[in-house]
Amino acid sequence: MPLHDSDTTRVLILDILRLSPTLPDSSQLLRMKEPDWDYLIRVAGMHRLGPVLHDCILRKNLLPLTPPRVVKVLQKTTRKHSLRNLALYQELIAVTRLLAASKIPSLALKGAFLANFTYQAIGLRPMRDIDLLVPKTHVVKAFELLKENGYQTGYDGLPEAHLEGKKIHLPPLARPNGIPIELHHRLTFPHPNGVTDEYESAIWTRSISKRMGNTSIKFPCVEDLLLHLCYHATEGHQFSIGPLALMDVALLIQDNQIDWDEIVRMASNGWRHYLLAPLYLAKLHIGADIPEWVMEALDVGRDKTQWLESAEYLLFSELGDHMLLNSSMQKILCSENLHERIWSVTEILFPTRATIATHFPVRPDAFRAFLYYPSHWRRLMKKKLPLLISRLLQQPAEIEKLAAHKQAFSSWLETDTGRTPDQ
């Protein structure tokens, strides 16, 4: 749900981020009230926009029009993420070397590439963790290797249980210093029609190398990074990562020569909706330099009414509420079909053995996985359920509206690929 009723503040945030030397109307800042600035600070913190907002305010000479308290908050955030990203930078080098020494191939993913090679300073693009892609045949070995070298996981489930179904990465690992690492064995959810299989198989052969210190780090090529950014923003998170997703797309395009023919080819192979929404919004709001012929090839004018309102709403919605509303919960709140609602409750209370195995120490094919249902129910009662009930009691209409927009956007994605939404 939107954090605040001020549409003008949301427009201002996007105008500040826009890839232009000036603000269209700097008097916007003079009309901002204290609650508007509080809202801007909250959005910046929730969606990791503080450093890049601060940088854009400086570059567009907006400092005299910005309250000192706001500038101070954004400066503090920039310093924090600069130091954290430097630590992540060193950790990425160390982990890559560790894996390479055991002949385990890896690709560093979008966050590391963007922070180090796309944004103008390392602290401008905050990173939550280090994401590495490792072949499925090697990923459990990599997981155990990191555990042997001091990394710990807070999950009791078996790493092998994360290799099947809709799981695309193993549980996070972290050193005592708190830097988390996620080992991915794929970047897209398996699709019954094989829509993303070509992408998954080609990403390794098209990879590129970049120097970080004295170490060569492999990354996906820029086209595959762009595809991943778009997929991650839409299918992966339904825009819950906020305007940062649009900024990532716009700066990657600005800083690199993109093979647009390849992007359009992928769109024709079932990726159209994954690409259309983020590319259109990045062009509209951030000024991303996307050729008009590409937008025409994506058929941008055909069905905006089916997704645009939901995408714009989701872009500034509450991150915590997104995480409470998986597909089953969306159906419980939004479906008019009683049978579907009951079935969704059943799915939450009685998950498959494979799902149980991702959280508890039991094999996914073992009958005794069913014995962990009481532990699963305690986990629900302790974690998600109290938060969900609290939010429903506080703002039921807003939660239901968010669920409806998530479901509408997911359904629109489905019309291009024929897959059943599972997020």
Grouped pLDDT means (10 residues each) for the chain, 423 residues = 64 96 89 93 96 97 96 97 95 96 97 96 95 97 95 87 88 87 94 81 95 95 97 94 97 97 92 95 97 91 85 92 84 87 91 90 90 92 85 85 92 69 41
- Token couple for 202: 């080609």
User: What is residue 126's predicted lDDT score, i.e. its pLDDT?
Assistant: 96
| Sequence-distant (≥ 6) Cβ neighbours of residue 339 within 8 angstroms | none
Q: Beta partners for 130?
A: 181
Provide the pLDDT for residue 325.
86
pLDDT at 419: 43
Closest CA to 254 of 13, 20, 4: 20
- Count of CB atoms situated within 10 Å of the CB of 87: 13
> Among the residues of 221-303, which ranges form H helices?
222-231, 244-255, 260-266, 272-281, 292-297
Q: Is 213 exposed, middle or buried (0-12, 13-18, 19+ CB in 10 A)?
A: exposed
Domain spans of the chain? Answer: 7-77, 85-178+196-315, 319-417
**222 SS3 class:** helix
Q: What is the pLDDT of residue 417?
A: 54
The β-bridge relationship of strands 130-133 and 173-174 is: unpaired
CA angle, residues 338, 166, 374, in degrees to nearest 5: 65
The one-letter amino acid code at 328 reads: S
pLDDT at 255: 95
